Structure 1
């Protein structure tokens, strides 16, 4: 992963083992849950280490970014899902874009919603 500035981390406990949580993660994040390369528009797959880590990255004119999901066992049937974000927003347009995406709280809402959807799918 390219060296980017840390943005934030959000986490949620899921009432399912790590294998089931991994499948739920792929159901929520990927267009085709059988293929981790089918990530959302704007991202490409950086790495997929079943059943513990899914790393996405992307870039466009106003930013370079990464979103990494990590799954850790909390117990025999509970998994902790963490979503960590990194990004850089170069130039004046990048600063405006950062204010819109990060400063508005929109990023936080989207990531927490994804974690809720993963927990529900598991």
Structure 2
């Protein structure tokens, strides 16, 4: 018998901004994850209401995610659970000669028949790739704007 299929993905971009500027942009974008809030409730996310310390630190909650690890300005690990999936979203910020390489790592499993159906709807349809690309693009824009301010 095999377990749930695992999904892994990485989105990466290099910004000319330094890691501390990119870190602030990551935190700002993570704060708006879990929108729309009705969707978080519909799929039964373990964490559905913002809670915990701000700026985000281990134990903080944004809808759909709990902060497992916060190592400013290099790594933010978010984990989540809902009816159809168990998942982790990790942001890694790596200093480079050009600025900062931002990586968004997704790792998820989709247990059971309903999990397999949800995977089909969200992963195989490429909705998740689009959503992650949008998050990374927003972080890039915000980080570049801050460096220009």
What TM-score results when the alignment is normalised by the length of structure 1? 0.88
Does the aligned pair in 2 maintain the 1:15–1:119 contact within 8 Å?
no
**SS state of the match for residue 79, structure 1?**
strand
**Counterpart residue number, 1:15:** 16
Residue 89 of structure 1 and its aligned partner are, at CA, apart by 0.5
Structure 2: state its 5+ residue gaps.
33-49, 144-149
- Assess if the C-alpha contact under 8 Å between 1:67 and 1:84 holds in 2: yes
2:63 paired residue among 20, 28, 41: 41
Distance 2:56 2:125 in 1: 30
Which residue of structure 2 lines up, in the alignment, with residue 90 of structure 1?
Answer: 111
| 1:63 Cα deviation after fit | 0.8
- Which protein has the bigger strand share? 1
Could you tell me whether the CA contact under 8 Å between 1:10 and 1:112 is conserved in 2? yes
Whether 1:56 aligns to 2:78 is yes
Unmatched segments (≥5 aa) in structure 1? none
Deviation at 1:90, TM superposition (A): 0.6
The runs of at least 4 aligned residues of structure 1 exceeding 2 Å deviation read: 37-40
Look at both structures and tell me which one has the larger radius of gyration over its CA atoms: 2
For normalisation by structure 2, the TM-score amounts to 0.73
